[in-house]
Chains A and B, each alone.
Chain A
Amino acid sequence: MTNKHREPLFTVFKRTSFSKKNSILLRVGIIAFTFLVSMIVCSIVIKENMFAIIGTFFSGAVARPWKLILDACILLGFGVAIVPAFKMKYWNMGANGQVIMGTLVSIVIMFYMGNFALRSGFNNFLTLVLMFISSVVVSTIWAVIPAIFKVFFKTNEVLFNLMMNYIAAGLVAYTNYALAKGQKEAQDVTLLNEGGWLPSIVTKNFNSNYLVASIIIILMTVFVFIYMSKTKHGYEVTVVGDSAPTARYVGMHTKTIVIRTLILNGIMCGILGFLYASAINHSMNPSMCGSLGFTAVLIAWLSNFNPIIMSIVSFGLAFLTIGTSKISSVYRIGNNDLANVIIGLMFFAILISEFFIRYQVRINIKMLNRKKEVEE
């Protein structure tokens, strides 16, 4: 009988209780540990004192505080833009495409109206308003098309949105080519002047364009927080996400709610697209958002769709990104691969901490001993 009943070496239990304080401690602990390990790895690879590297990391991250805040805000912006849709269990994987479509129209307007905008402050304002509206409209259309297909024809929104990303990238590449044709440097279109740029509040220490963009995104975050937690619309979104039949049962129009939410999602992506053109990049190319649309999914998910936690996570991630790329550049590693490895490790660490918060692992000491006996 005893031989038959082999006990497993590890047993995983679902935790029945785990205090909030402990879970935060666990998270911070695991993240700090991973950071330390990655710094040790760095020091081995670079053959440099670990503390010097850590110093470079922190000084690099805070060297340009407004850039740091802006980077955090962009991440946050992508995150909050998709929160309502994700909360509804509508997996919008097309944030990238939706944002660059917004940038595309803004850039086109800037290209043709740049001279007009420069003539007076009012002209610039008109241009900005036009850019804003067109970006929002185009991004919204881009976001709503897959939603309409999902609602009426039951297509899969994940695949549809991924395809929409490719189409958007293609359109940006083509427009770039078409606009840049007359210019000397081929590749990307270069704007001739600063028409259609967000206004600057000039002081010595920072680029104020970044500040305006950051404030707009923070306002967007506050809006999403209130929208999701306090309004009837947000409440309906939560119900549809939790149980669509229940929503129907109490008389909610689920189709309207899905499309309405994706309009909101599109508007926010449009705002981001507008900011890319008017404040952040002043140019466009198909890969300008990198994989932010997907990183945002991870951020939103890890933060349990809570905009406040998302702010913290975004800031941490931006800090990490800038710090590690500083290491890459100071120690001449050449490209950003090391930075990416460290960021990947950190994500992995967060996922591991989530696992240990939900589950408890018990090691069966008896089995360990028995194994030893067998080996002996």
Chain B
Amino acid sequence: MGNENANNLQNREVAVELRNISKHFKGVYANKNINISLFKGEILSILGENGSGKTTLMNMLSGIYQPEEGEIFINGEKASIHSPRDAFDYGIGMVHQHFKLVDVFTAAENIVLGIKDKESLKDAYSKLTEISTRYGFDIDLKKKIHNMSVSEKQTVEIIKVLYRNASILILDEPTAVLTPQEADKLFGIIRKMRDDGKSIILITHKLAEVLSVSDRVAILRKGEYITTLNTKETDERELTEYMVGKKVDLKLERLRILASPPVLEIRGLNVKKDDGTNAIQDLSFYLRGGQILGVAGIAGCGQKELCEAIVGLRHYTGLITHKGQNIGGFSPEKIKEIGIRMSFIPEDRLGLGLAPNLSITDNLLLKTYRQNKGIFVDRETARSEAKELIERYGVVTPSTETPVKNLSGGNIQKILVGREIGSDPNVIITAYPVRGLDINSSYMIYDILNEEKAKNTSILFIGEDLDVLLTFCDKIMVLCEGKCMGIVHTKNTTKEEIGLMMTGAKNLVELYPEKEQGIAPDSLLTKKEWKQLAKENEKNDK
């Protein structure tokens, strides 16, 4: 195999070489003269901020887009990739950020779907079992996709690619949807694949991941190729500088603020999931003004349902009081009517927080359109608000009238957070607000939340990165299968302790029953009043 990479000092075989690749959309370069090579049996990270062209570049390699200029060499030969099928023929498989699976099919059916050579499902099973054991996948091939967790779905996608004999795997932000534990497991699998001779490209913007998993890292900035480094010879600071283009000093800090009396007090909350099973069981906690309460837990153990119940989108039993006033069973509208300024930044940004096909202006209107008197909506005010928001948070968009679904993930989140903060809330409920965002956007969101905290706002922060939760929040409530495992001050705990609580191995509620977890000592209501409220609630339910 001819090795055409003159710069290759390590004299290793090149699996993929991208030469002077360019691609532009509507006159804007998404990729400009990119030169990257991938060796056989290595893990190469492609690092870059949101919108730096990582995904576009990989989409060209996997046949979704065609480059306008430049050439792609696979195993030393010039390749023309016109469709994902061509890419498969070259042994390239991509696992996208958004999974492309048929919900009502089983894992195995999804994997063999679209393969032309008629192979019976039975033969497929033996091959699939072989793949699973070789790389250590833990998956039930007969399980239907709609019963699967996100991490299981991702596993199916990866096996699908391996089953098609891919030797070059591209993983687009694979850990964006995983818990730390799941991510670690995935990295183990990736390393095994590398040792098996496969070449892996990891698209990411998480520096810790880059440093711990990959052999080399290629950095893109604003569509241009910056450099490629050996991960062993670099550190977080250097990578950030290359990525952002200037020296940055990002620090996550916990603001010290004198917390005020409880604002939101929640007792004995029970919430059900859509399928009728228990999501949250007998949960009690409280939020103070000027305090951030983090919620840690494995994905899908009731966080979503908890948020929806508090803001009035989901039925629940139990008591929720706001400054001593019972708001049990109130709809979002009613909560707003009685003057509670509650903001909710949901996990599902385009499905719940925003209307994807509507413009930025119209999405800002969602919260305020009722305020205008008369039958008409006031788009002019909303438009100027949109302009302000775009300027203040540095949203990258062609205009205020662009549908939000056309924006990148970070910009979408800025619109959502900007709108929610703009309504001057005194309670903020936020679920995974930085999921899928790059460093700059993430820190911007943290800064905004800290600013709100300084204004004496109560914040419930559902998070996934334990390091962030431990440095950013004042207290952490740990959930395990919908039950509270304890509420701890971040300064008195460790990552290990929280990890143990997340899996249910340590339960502070059972360990110290005399310490009433989640009951404010300075509650605004007396025990008698709480009892009375509970009685009223029971009556109403009947």
CA distance in complex: A242, B351 (Å):
9
Minimum CB–CB distance from A363 to chain B (whole Å) comes to 12
Q: Is the CB of B353 within 8 A of A249?
A: yes
Q: Is the CB of B83 within 8 A of A250?
A: no
Q: Is A290 an interface residue (CB 8 A)?
A: no
Q: Is A184 an interface residue (CB 8 A)?
A: no
CA distance in complex: A247, B353 (Å):
9
Name the A residues within 8 Å of B235 (CB-CB): none
Name the A residues within 8 Å of B377 (CB-CB): 230-232, 235
Name the A residues within 8 Å of B352 (CB-CB): 243, 245-246, 249
Minimum CB–CB distance from A181 to chain B (whole Å) comes to 48
Q: Is B273 an interface residue (CB 8 A)?
A: no
Of A8, A16, A238, A247, most B-chain CB atoms within 10 Å: A16
Q: Is the CB of A231 within 8 A of B86?
A: no
Q: Is the CB of B313 within 8 A of A232?
A: no
Interface positions of B from 330 to 364, Cβ below 8 Å from A: 331-333, 336, 344, 346, 348, 350-358, 362
Q: Is the CB of B376 within 8 A of A242?
A: no
CA distance in complex: A6, B90 (Å):
12
- In the complex, the chain B residue whose C-beta lies closest to that of A1 is B77
Q: Is the CB of A232 within 8 A of B375?
A: yes
Q: Is B451 an interface residue (CB 8 A)?
A: no
CA distance in complex: A251, B332 (Å):
5
Q: Is B82 an interface residue (CB 8 A)?
A: yes
Minimum CB–CB distance from B450 to chain A (whole Å) comes to 25
Q: Is B131 an interface residue (CB 8 A)?
A: no
Q: How many A-B residue pairs have CB under 8 A?
A: 82
* Contact A249:B344 (CB < 8 A) given known A1-B77, A4-B89, A235-B369: yes
CA distance in complex: A245, B349 (Å):
11
Which of A8, A233, A249, A364 is within 8 Å of B332, CB to CB?
A: A249
Name the B residues within 8 Å of A246 (CB-CB): 351-355, 366
CA distance in complex: A56, B353 (Å):
57
A-contact bits for B219-244, CB 8 A (1 contact / 0 none)? 00000000000000000000000000
* Contact A16:B365 (CB < 8 A) given known A1-B77, A239-B358, A249-B346: no
Q: Is the CB of B355 within 8 A of A243?
A: yes
Interface positions of A from 1 to 55, Cβ below 8 Å from B: 1, 4-5, 7-8, 11, 13, 16-17
Q: Is B370 an interface residue (CB 8 A)?
A: yes
Name the A residues within 8 Å of B313 (CB-CB): 248-249
Name the A residues within 8 Å of B185 (CB-CB): none
Minimum CB–CB distance from A305 to chain B (whole Å) comes to 12
Q: Is B512 an interface residue (CB 8 A)?
A: no
Q: Is the CB of B356 within 8 A of A16?
A: no
Minimum CB–CB distance from A123 to chain B (whole Å) comes to 36
CA distance in complex: A84, B58 (Å):
41
* Contact A250:B376 (CB < 8 A) given known A7-B86, A242-B355: no
Name the B residues within 8 Å of A364 (CB-CB): 82
- In the complex, the chain A residue whose C-beta lies closest to that of B367 is A250
* Contact A232:B357 (CB < 8 A) given known A7-B80, A250-B332: no
A-contact bits for B70-111, CB 8 A (1 contact / 0 none)? 000000010110110010011000000000000000000000
Which of A230, A231, A251 is within 8 Å of B331, CB to CB?
A: A251
CA distance in complex: A369, B356 (Å):
45
Minimum CB–CB distance from A250 to chain B (whole Å) comes to 5
Minimum CB–CB distance from A372 to chain B (whole Å) comes to 19
Q: Is the CB of B351 within 8 A of A251?
A: no
* Contact A242:B89 (CB < 8 A) given known A8-B82, A16-B26, A231-B377: no
CA distance in complex: A206, B376 (Å):
39
- In the complex, the chain A residue whose C-beta lies closest to that of B349 is A246
Interface positions of B from 264 to 288, Cβ below 8 Å from A: none
Q: Is the CB of B77 within 8 A of A250?
A: no
CA distance in complex: A231, B333 (Å):
20
Name the B residues within 8 Å of A242 (CB-CB): 355-358
Of B26, B313, B377, most A-chain CB atoms within 10 Å: B377
Name the A residues within 8 Å of B27 (CB-CB): 17
Minimum CB–CB distance from B439 to chain A (whole Å) comes to 28
- In the complex, the chain B residue whose C-beta lies closest to that of A253 is B333
B-contact bits for A210-246, CB 8 A (1 contact / 0 none)? 0000000000000000000011110100110011011
Name the A residues within 8 Å of B344 (CB-CB): 249
Name the B residues within 8 Å of A252 (CB-CB): 333
Of A17, A239, A247, A364, most B-chain CB atoms within 10 Å: A239
CA distance in complex: A270, B430 (Å):
47
A-contact bits for B255-267, CB 8 A (1 contact / 0 none)? 0000000000000
Minimum CB–CB distance from A10 to chain B (whole Å) comes to 10
Name the B residues within 8 Å of A245 (CB-CB): 348, 351-352
CA distance in complex: A5, B77 (Å):
13
Which of A1, A232, A247, A249 is within 8 Å of B370, CB to CB?
A: A232
Minimum CB–CB distance from A23 to chain B (whole Å) comes to 15
Name the B residues within 8 Å of A248 (CB-CB): 313, 332
Name the B residues within 8 Å of A11 (CB-CB): 82-83
Name the A residues within 8 Å of B332 (CB-CB): 248-251
CA distance in complex: A248, B376 (Å):
21
Minimum CB–CB distance from A359 to chain B (whole Å) comes to 14
CA distance in complex: A8, B63 (Å):
13
CA distance in complex: A11, B25 (Å):
19
- In the complex, the chain A residue whose C-beta lies closest to that of B374 is A232
Name the A residues within 8 Å of B357 (CB-CB): 242
* Contact A231:B375 (CB < 8 A) given known A238-B358, A242-B355, A251-B333: yes
* Contact A239:B366 (CB < 8 A) given known A7-B80, A246-B352: yes
- In the complex, the chain B residue whose C-beta lies closest to that of A246 is B355
Name the A residues within 8 Å of B80 (CB-CB): 5, 7
A-contact bits for B453-494, CB 8 A (1 contact / 0 none)? 000000000000000000000000000000000000000000
Q: Is the CB of B77 within 8 A of A7?
A: no
Name the A residues within 8 Å of B366 (CB-CB): 239, 246, 250
Minimum CB–CB distance from A211 to chain B (whole Å) comes to 30
CA distance in complex: A73, B82 (Å):
48
Name the B residues within 8 Å of A243 (CB-CB): 350-352, 354-356
- In the complex, the chain B residue whose C-beta lies closest to that of A235 is B377
Name the A residues within 8 Å of B375 (CB-CB): 231-233
A-contact bits for B369-407, CB 8 A (1 contact / 0 none)? 110100111000000000000000000000000000000
Name the A residues within 8 Å of B355 (CB-CB): 238-239, 242-243, 246-247
Minimum CB–CB distance from A303 to chain B (whole Å) comes to 17
CA distance in complex: A239, B359 (Å):
11
- In the complex, the chain A residue whose C-beta lies closest to that of B66 is A13
Name the B residues within 8 Å of A5 (CB-CB): 79-80, 86, 89-90
Interface positions of A from 339 to 374, Cβ below 8 Å from B: 364
Name the B residues within 8 Å of A230 (CB-CB): 376-377
CA distance in complex: A352, B372 (Å):
43
Q: Is the CB of B82 within 8 A of A7?
A: yes
CA distance in complex: A86, B249 (Å):
51
Name the A residues within 8 Å of B346 (CB-CB): 249
Minimum CB–CB distance from A236 to chain B (whole Å) comes to 8
Name the A residues within 8 Å of B356 (CB-CB): 242-243
CA distance in complex: A233, B354 (Å):
18
Q: Closest 7 interchain pairs by CB? A: A251-B333, A251-B332, A242-B355, A250-B366, A17-B26, A242-B357, A243-B355
Q: A7-B80, A246-B355, A249-B313 are known contacts; what are 16 more A-B pairs with Cβ within 8 Å?
A: A8-B82, A8-B83, A11-B82, A13-B66, A230-B376, A230-B377, A232-B369, A232-B376, A233-B375, A235-B362, A238-B355, A239-B362, A243-B352, A243-B356, A251-B333, A364-B82
Contact surface of B with A, Cβ cutoff 8 Å = 25-27, 66, 77, 79-80, 82-83, 86, 89-90, 311, 313, 331-333, 336, 344, 346, 348, 350-358, 362, 365-367, 369-370, 372, 375-377
Q: Could you pull out 27 A-B pairs where Cβ atoms are within 8 angstroms?
A: A1-B77, A4-B89, A5-B90, A7-B80, A7-B86, A8-B82, A8-B83, A11-B82, A11-B83, A13-B66, A17-B26, A17-B27, A230-B377, A231-B376, A231-B377, A232-B369, A232-B372, A238-B355, A238-B358, A242-B357, A243-B354, A245-B348, A246-B366, A249-B332, A251-B331, A251-B336, A364-B82
